[in-house]
Chain A
Amino acid sequence: MGLLADTRKGDTASTPDAPSPRVVRSVARLLRLESSDVRRNAVSAASVIVLLVIWQIIADLRLFEQTLFPEPRGIVQSYHYWWANGGLATGLSISLRRMVMAYALSLAIGIPIGMLIGRFPLADWTLGTVVRLLQPIPGIAWVPLAVVWFTSVSESAKIFIVITGGVFPVLVSTSAGVRTVPPAYLRVARTLGVRGLGLFTWVVFPATIPSIVAGMRISWAFCWRSLMAAEIVLAARTGPGQEGLGGLIAVARQLDQINTAGMVMVTLAAVGLLIDGLVFHAVERRIRRRRGLTE
């Protein structure tokens, strides 16, 4: 009788010391790190937490002077402080507003010029040459010109600098995409009677969308960099957060608030990650799925 019961138990594998096949399977699945998104995000989050803990431990060792080394706990305090006086929210919203404005302008300039350069050799030799000359100049190097052209306190000066950073990646990526449109698509369209501008809007543009989105993604990151440069260097107005996130860094530098600088950096990283993951990653994946470019 006892023997029989034992055997049955063994068969269904429900004893605590013999884990059920289902548990084994799910653990095995958890350990295969490449599959689901949930698992990937969980592991990413865990690694960030580990990083923060190690960071705090090193800070607590007091190897460096406290004023020189931001630490997680101090950054949390900065968040409290700047949240309470509204500076963080104001800074974030001002910076984001400039970003959206400058980013939209970068796309509005970069995508059409990129399409022209990619499609017409003459545009490549003329406009393309100018682009290749200007492209290596970092946004920050435009500051003196921006100041003279727009005056340093103006919004335009900052937006101009952000555009100088943001316009080129999407432009170059777009033109490269246009050049690699399979000629077969154009031949198909032409034999179906499509000519001139129709080839552009119905074939070249849709075929180039993946490259454009890839470029938009890089441009977004470049806009952030240039915006911080512009806001730090051209911080003019006072009042908490009135000069955007970069303005907060400028304040932190003047007041030796190293944790405020740390706070802004963490905020930048978080916003960047959020937009990249929620918007660009999702859009790119959708396009790839639809066009059958995924495995």
Chain B
Amino acid sequence: MRTELRNVSKVYHFDGRADHHDVQALASLSLTIAEGELACIVGPSGCGKSTILNLVAGLERPTTGEVLFGDAPVAGPGPDRVLVFQAYTLFPWLTARENIEFGLRSLRLPADERRRRVDRELARVGLNGFARAYPHELSGGMQQRVAIARALTMEPRALLMDEPFAALDAQTRNLMQEDLLTALGREPKTMIFVTHSVDEALFLADTVTVLSARPARMLDHIRIDLPRPRKRTSRDLNELRERILAQLAEQVRLAERGNVPWGS
């Protein structure tokens, strides 16, 4: 399924506050992600990356413009586009298994099909032995594995990842990236992966989209055709890394000088 943002802008209103002002998170942004593509989006903090995912997930509505999934405009959340959040968002009253099974209740599947899917996802993220553990008994990395399994068990057409590994240490993060690619290796799935980390984007992506400071504009769109698994320090990736880091640094510098308006 193709995902497309057409001239999308998004304004957040802070109502009910004395110093209320509106925030323009996106201004007329257009972006297309092809079917089966692993698209990474990088950009300075607060530029509107999460907003993009929330729009595609149907949790937010665009102020103007259109968000399309396939050929139809996104009308609301749906199990065909599942969002994985940055912070740990497992339900603390459910075990790992019950968390993974959570969304299946809304699909009204028979019990044995539910069990089959949950077992499959537990195995896929390597948590067979922790099915009965409660979230607080799991490490941060394990919790994010459960969150990813909880999304995959819905068999969505697109997986939307909002900095899912941001809270993990560097080694765990690398491992999770490798595992994610292995886990998905056999079924190419559309994935929109937002990250702060240029390294992460270069390691994972088919395409990297670089966004400007808020309101986000597309600064660069890079297709990476290198085979996986990639060597993180290969010459090609190093060159791309320098290019993207320079673009991002420029954005931060502009923002510091006040050339980029922070409220409009």
Contacts and interface: CB of A to CB of B under 8 A. Distances in A.
Interface of A: 184-185, 187-195, 198, 202-203, 206-207, 209, 290-292
Given A193-B78, A206-B93, A187 B150 contact: no
The 3 A-B pairs of least Cβ separation, nearest first, read: A292-B136, A192-B103, A193-B79
B60 to A, nearest CB: 10
B59 A190 contact: yes
Contact of B136 (A184, A185, A193, A291): A291
Contact of A193 (B93, B94, B154): B154
A291 B102 contact: no
Contacts, number: 68
A189 B83 contact: no
Interface in B128-144: 134-137
A188 B84 CA distance: 8
Contact of B91 (A185, A191, A193): A185
8 contacts: A184-B89, A187-B89, A190-B59, A192-B151, A192-B154, A198-B106, A203-B91, A291-B92
Contacts of A195: 77, 106
Interface string B54-77: 000111000000000000000001
Q: In the complex, which range does the number of interface residues on chain B fall in?
A: 20 to 34
A206 B91 contact: yes
Residue among A185, A189, A203 with the most chain B CB within 10 A? Answer: A189
Interface of B: 57-59, 77-79, 81-83, 85, 87, 89, 91-94, 102-103, 105-107, 134-137, 150-151, 154, 160
Nearest to A203: B91
Given A192-B150, A203-B91, A292 B105 contact: no
B10 to A, nearest CB: 16
Contacts of B151: 192
Given A185-B89, A202-B102, A292 B135 contact: yes
Contacts of A206: 91, 93-94
Q: Is the interface of A mostly helix, strand, loop or mixed?
A: helix
B91 A184 contact: no
A187 B134 CA distance: 20
B106 A187 contact: no
A194 B91 contact: no
A192 B79 contact: yes
Contacts of A290: 92-93, 134
A194 B99 CA distance: 13
A192 B102 contact: yes
Contacts of A190: 59, 77
A198 to B, nearest CB: 6
A194 B105 contact: yes
B102 A189 contact: yes
A201 to B, nearest CB: 10
A191 B82 contact: yes
B77 A191 contact: yes
A193 B59 contact: no
Residue among A188, A195, A290 with the most chain B CB within 10 A? Answer: A188
B38 to A, nearest CB: 19
A227 B98 CA distance: 42
Contacts of B83: 187, 191
A210 to B, nearest CB: 9
Nearest to B93: A206
A193 B103 contact: yes
Contact of A207 (B81, B93, B136): B93
A290 B94 CA distance: 9
A202 B104 CA distance: 12
Contacts of A189: 102-103
Nearest to B77: A190
Contacts of A202: 102, 105
Contacts of A207: 91, 93
Contact of B105 (A187, A191, A198): A198
Nearest to B107: A193
Contacts of B93: 206-207, 209, 290-291
Contacts of B102: 189, 192, 194, 202
B106 A193 contact: yes
Contacts of A198: 105-106
A292 B88 CA distance: 14
A191 B57 contact: yes
Contacts of A188: 85, 89, 91
B152 to A, nearest CB: 11
B85 A187 contact: yes
